[in-house]
Amino acid sequence: MPTGGGRGFTLVELLVVITIIGILIALLLPAVQSARESARMTQCSNNLKQLGLACLHHQAAQGHFPTGGWGWRWAGDPDRGFGKQQPGGWHYNILPYIEQENLHQMGRGGNWAAGAQRAATPIALFHCPSRRRAIQYPYVHGSPWFNIDRPTLVGRSDYACNGGDGTTVVHPQPSSLSQGDSLTDQQWAASFPGTAPDPAVTGVIYRRSEIMPAHIRDGTSNTYLLGERYLDPDRYLDGTACDNDQGWDTGHDYDVTRWTTPGSQPMRDRPGFGGCQTRFGSAHPAGFHMVFCDGSVRRISYAIDPEMHRRLGNRKDALPIDWTTVQ
């Protein structure tokens, strides 16, 4: 007579159980990944909300939205205020409004080494969690900077300001403070494309801009302020792409400015699709986030009507927005 407490699994039964478990895991993984991406999108939206509020606080304190700086070889200068005489870009200018006053002041008195240290500082708020971490990245560009020591590492940003629907030129740029200070506003606009006070520039933050709410004739709720920028995933980390070779602490450049010029349709990040991209976009599959000049954040479809996208980048074209084609 057989003895023992009970019947064990046969090999076939065990294989069936393992197969069922595998199927359940396969069904569960997409849901888990979707939930994680949803959480990352929420965090990214929150980042942009904070950046938008910082720009509004800047506007309230300084009388205008952050200026776009002078060019890609210029970092922020704590001795030169917040207006058109400031060579640093919008990321630098909002530092006091995101509780980074000490970082903003690094480099005072012409301390170029401290300026390089500031440029190498990563800031979590500047990063989309679906794309890359807030760490130091290699700075491999060979050109020296005009007002800080050349860093070997930089902090980067996944977000860019709205430069408008016109020219996307970022070259040339002045090579010294004395050169920049010697030019009249009209000479600046004539010498360096995309520069205030050129009336053809339609964005909100661009080279030497000092845009006030009154300048946003289309309404602050109908005009882009900031948003996520497109990047080639193959170039996230190495700093070799011309639209991802600088850090957050830089003036007017592809790394910190994007445009809605016709042909710059927003895209989801696509491996191998690189070059000096001027478009907005993101790593999210469901769309990209944009902050409007009233501080609101919207998720925008990659399939947004190109003409509506162009209009949202132009602060003063007086054309209506069909919101059914946007989201």
Q: What is the pLDDT of residues 264-288, one digit of tens each?
A: 999 999 999 999 999 999 999 999 9
- Asked if the model's pLDDT at residue 64 lies above 60, the reply is yes
Average pLDDT of the segment spanning 118-122:
98
Lowest mean pLDDT among 19-28, 60-69, 219-228, 279-288: 19-28
Contact by Cβ (8 Å): 148, 78:
no
Instruction: Annotate 14-79 with DSSP letters as a single string.
Output: HHHHHHHHHHHHHHHHHHHHHHHHHHHHHHHHHHHHHHHHHHHHHHHHHSSPPP--S-TT----TT
- Asked if the model's pLDDT at residue 8 lies above 90, the reply is no
Contact by Cβ (8 Å): 278, 264:
yes
- Asked if the model's pLDDT at residue 114 lies above 80, the reply is yes
pLDDT band, very low/low/confident/very high, at 4 (cuts 50, 70, 90): low
Average pLDDT, the chain: 94
**The pLDDT value given to residue 144:** 92
Please report, rounded to a whole number, the percentage of residues in the chain having pLDDT higher than 70.
94
In the structure encoding, which two tokens stand for residue 305, read together? 């009507």
Q: How far apart are CA 159 and CA 281, in angstroms?
A: 9
In the structure encoding, which two tokens stand for residue 66, read together? 């952050």
pLDDT band, very low/low/confident/very high, at 33 (cuts 50, 70, 90): low
Q: How far apart are CA 216 and CA 220, in angstroms?
A: 6
Q: How far apart are CA 168 and CA 157, in angstroms?
A: 19
**The pLDDT value given to residue 34:** 67
Average pLDDT of the segment spanning 296-324:
97
pLDDT band, very low/low/confident/very high, at 16 (cuts 50, 70, 90): confident
Average pLDDT of the segment spanning 194-204:
96
**The pLDDT value given to residue 32:** 56
Is 282 in a helix, a strand, or coil? strand
pLDDT band, very low/low/confident/very high, at 291 (cuts 50, 70, 90): very high
Q: Which long-range contacts (CB under 8 A, 24 or more apart) does 234-237 make?
A: 234/271, 234/272, 234/274, 235/274, 236/131, 236/132, 237/132, 237/137
**The pLDDT value given to residue 3:** 53
Of 302, 298, 305, 297, give the one whose Cα is nearest residue 321.
305
Average pLDDT of the segment spanning 15-38:
74
Q: Which residues contact 144 (CB under 8 A, 6 or more apart)?
A: 73, 150
- Asked if the model's pLDDT at residue 5 lies above 80, the reply is no
